[in-house]
Amino acid sequence: MPLLDNLIATLTQRDPLPPLVPEKVWDESLTAKIDKLTAAPLAKAGLHLLNDNIHNCHIIAQEHENPDSNYWHAILHRREPDYWNSKYWYKRVGNHPVIHDMQKEEPGWDPFDFVDQCERSDTETERMIQFKEMKFLLNYTLDKYE
């Protein structure tokens, strides 16, 4: 699917990295392109979140009730920022494979501690870790649902 591949490439190669708490959608022109995809809803939710479109990601994530949608829900609330709510959704994620992938890449990483870290500071390190987590979850979502 060329459009999907193009969107993935555009959104996963952003420079500079997405902010922890976006002030606006990164590229508004991508919103309609993501919406018209025939991709699985949770893949679209992930693309919206990578485009800093918290609202559109939220609409999709709250329509589903499973560990994958809960994971997107947790990240979007961390990025709002609504830290308490982010931790609530991380509790609902459970033992997710992406958490294990993150711990392999970032030894000692814990989603709850990372929420606290993001609340305390916004450095290039936190942005890189957040971006890695979103890309891992997007890849997992695409592999599972596409």
Confidence grade of residue 146 (pLDDT, cut at 50, 70, 90): confident
Predicted confidence at residue 77, as pLDDT, reads 98
Residue-wise pLDDT for 1-15, tens only, equals 689 999 999 999 999
Tens of pLDDT, residues 8-40: 999 999 999 999 999 999 999 999 999 999 999
The whole-number pLDDT of residue 1 equals 66
SS (H, E, C) the chain: CHHHHHHHHHHHCCCCCCCCCCCCCCCCHHHHHHHHCCCCHHHHHHHHHHCCCHHHHHHHHCCCCCHHHHHHHHHHHHHCCCHHHHHHHHHHHCCCHHHHHHHHHCCCCCHHHHHHHHHHCCCHHHHHHHHHHHHHHHHHHHHHHC
The 10s digit of each residue's pLDDT in 69-106 is: 999 999 999 999 999 999 999 999 999 999 999 999 99
Q: 36-63, pLDDT tens digit by residue?
A: 999 999 999 999 999 999 999 999 999 9
